[in-house]
Amino acid sequence: MKIIIVGGGKTGASLTKSLTDEGHDVVVVDVNADRLTELCNQNDVMGIYGNGMNYSALLEAGLEDADILISVTGSDEQNLLCSLFAKKKSRCSTIARVRNPMYLTEVNFIREQIGLSMIINPELAAATDIARLVRFPSAIDINPFAKGKVELLTFKITEDSALNGKNLIYVRNKIESEVLFCAVERGGEYHIPSGNFELQAGDKASVIILPKKERAFFKKIGIGTRTIKDVMIAGGGTIAYYLARQLLNIGITVKIIERDEKRAHELSEKLPNALVIHGNASDKDLLLEEGLASTDAFVSLTGFDEENVLLSLYAKETTNAKVITKVDHNSFNKLISKLDLDTVIYPCDITIEYILQYVRANQNAMGNNVESLYKLVEDKVEALEFKVGDTAPIIGIPLQKMDLKDELIICGIIHKGKFILPNGDSTVEAGDRIIVVTSHKKLDDVGDILR
């Protein structure tokens, strides 16, 4: 597909790499000549020096025959206007990044009026992910499928867990039959496990499970679950605002520490039920004075990655709280993954997942679309939800007779709105949705799961 990306910042650069890696023809438009040159050299793509709101720049980028235009500049208004130009002057699909909370209640209206295919709000998406983890703190990561009917939940196996030293056949027969292990990360390496795979302490295991079964499962395997009643947030940016709103709505007490006095007052007005403190979250004495040692969860959301990591490491030393860390740059994700942090959230990666999901769905004309897409184990594994079209080659074939690719597992079937944990005799019908976990990339059709 031919894709135009307007904006070559962090998100634009990451999108360029991801989309070119998937084989798409990408053109980048940016007003920063040096940044544009570096991005083009790194990814071997065409660059257009210019403003995305300038129609001639879009024409030079090939707007008239583009399939998708993605606008991710630093300005919401520029992203919307650029998308409007593209929609009025071409037949391409348009995706715009819109981050300002001011537009939160107007998103659907804006999308309909401009004719946008998608509006992406990375901060809201990150806040939603964090809120989900706060509700179930034993998890490292939670990815919903089938509109939340089932979840892919990742957790760390502890020394005293009933899973330590047990293979998956034992787990299924003796401990819990209503979960399916899809992927295991061990020492930076991934495994799509078979029944004989033996789990070990320190493994990060990803399972498909119904939300209503999660607490019972964790109780059986000896990993404690608790209810979080209060959360301390370091940093009062946009993610903090969205997160506080969600947590307050479900009855969780929220305390925000923000160093900028004007922003602290603004948050206090917008979030009257939250306690907003004007102060520096890097001040250890302040954190302790405000109850760090007794808080149930600590979320580090300052504007500096290094500060977030250090604050989270300090919180891990000081408290038994669930600790969540925001990191904007993923250049050092391998190093960060080796640190003793509970959960690390990369807002940029969330944006890319949503856009890749849309791109893959729209390059498929057979009706076997990608409905959801998540990247696991440092981008080495993908979890996808496919809609099964009328002509899909897997219809009616028992799973045990399907010629599936290696390192690929079908770990869920959604049939008429009901989740089915599959076994070898399970079959798939037209209209079903299936959940697939695999190390193979670029799957955009359900038929791609076959050899």
- The domain in which residue 89 lies consists of 2-120
Alpha helices, DSSP H, located in 186-251: 214-220, 238-249
pLDDT at 365: 56
The domain boundary residue, chosen from 220, 241, 269? 220
- Residues 165 and 189 placed together within one structural domain of the fold: yes
User: HSE on the CB side for 18, CA within 13 Å?
Assistant: 22
- Residues 216 and 141 placed together within one structural domain of the fold: yes
The domain boundary residue, chosen from 120, 137, 171? 120
* DSSP designation for 404: B
- Residues 374 and 432 placed together within one structural domain of the fold: yes
Cβ-contact 427, 398 below 8 angstroms: yes
Can you tell me the distance from the alpha carbon of 263 to that of 250, in angstroms, rounded to the nearest whole number? 24
- Residues 308 and 397 placed together within one structural domain of the fold: no
pLDDT at 368: 61
CATH number of the domain that residue 379 is part of: 3.30.70.1450
pLDDT at 126: 95
- Residues 7 and 92 placed together within one structural domain of the fold: yes
Tokens of residue 446, six digits: 């359900």
- Residues 131 and 152 placed together within one structural domain of the fold: yes
- Residues 257 and 160 placed together within one structural domain of the fold: no
- Residues 137 and 191 placed together within one structural domain of the fold: yes
Tokens of residue 145, six digits: 């499928």
pLDDT at 366: 57
In a domain, 195, yes or no: yes
Number of domains in the chain: 4
- Residues 6 and 104 placed together within one structural domain of the fold: yes
CB neighbours of residue 303 within 10 Å: 11
If DSSP codes are grouped into helix, strand and coil, which group holds residue 394? coil
CATH number of the domain that residue 272 is part of: 3.40.50.720
- Residues 292 and 216 placed together within one structural domain of the fold: no
The domain boundary residue, chosen from 220, 249, 269? 220
In a domain, 109, yes or no: yes
- Residues 133 and 234 placed together within one structural domain of the fold: no
pLDDT in tens, the chain (451 residues): 999 999 999 999 999 999 999 899 999 999 999 999 999 999 999 999 999 888 889 999 999 999 999 999 999 999 999 999 898 888 899 999 999 988 888 888 888 888 899 999 999 999 999 999 999 999 999 999 998 899 999 999 999 999 999 999 999 888 877 899 999 999 888 999 988 999 999 999 999 999 999 989 998 998 877 889 999 999 999 999 999 999 999 999 999 999 999 999 999 999 999 999 999 999 999 999 999 999 999 999 999 999 999 999 999 999 999 999 999 987 777 788 778 888 999 999 999 999 998 888 887 655 668 889 998 877 889 999 999 999 899 999 999 999 999 999 999 999 999 999 999 999 999 999 999 999 998 888 899 999 8
- Residues 116 and 144 placed together within one structural domain of the fold: no
